[in-house]
Amino acid sequence: MDRRQQKTRAAIFQAFSRLLERKRFENITVQEIIDLANIGRSTFYAHFETKDDLLKELCEELFSHIVDSAMDCTHTHGLYSEGNAPESVFCHLLQHLAENDNHILQLLSCESNEIFLRYFKDSLNELIHMQVVNRTSRKMACLPEDFLVNHISGSFVEMVLWWLKGGRKQAPEELDRYFRAVIGPVL
């Protein structure tokens, strides 16, 4: 993708995100997106077939960036200039969320948040499977692996929602301690 296409795509994502902060997904029109992005209709459709495709790609881009960053311990975004990266993948993930790249926290708490939360949870499943379930001893042989992954990712998403509703008072390290205290016995 050339630079011009990247700029157009970024303008569409930004316009869409701004609209999502004010309106439910179902009430946003393609016309509103193209007006706010200052592009033509054919340009929009050259990048996305539908508004649903735009939503899917926005979520994939946002969440894959955060999840990939959490899985790659060398990718620190300058978070750890004073010391080492945290051992916990959950703490790393929370720190990236706290940075609020691309206004992700607003999207997770907007009127259409159920859509974003579903994509977020789906993105977490792979991370949890690779970084947690595969690395722990299988004390829980009686539980299906997909059940365990679903339980942990669902708990993490609910914790993030609790954190957002509470005004983000806890630091990522404190949330990480809470979360590991709760899931530790399960693992």
- In tens, the pLDDT along 138-172 reads 555 677 888 989 999 999 999 999 998 899 999 99
3-state secondary structure the chain: CCHHHHHHHHHHHHHHHHHHHHCCHHHCCHHHHHHHHCCCHHHHHHHCCCHHHHHHHHHHHHHHHHHHHHHCCCCCCCCCCCCCCCCCHHHHHHHHHHHCHHHHHHHHHCCCHHHHHHHHHHHHHHHHHHHHHCCCCCCCCCCCHHHHHHHHHHHHHHHHHHHHHCCCCCCHHHHHHHHHHHHCCCC
* Span 119-133, pLDDT tens digits: 888 888 888 887 777
- What average pLDDT does the segment 98-116 reach? 76
Instruction: List pLDDT tens digits, range 21-78.
Output: 788 888 899 999 999 999 999 999 999 999 989 988 888 887 777 777 766 655 454 4
For the cut 90, the answer to whether the pLDDT of residue 15 exceeds it is yes
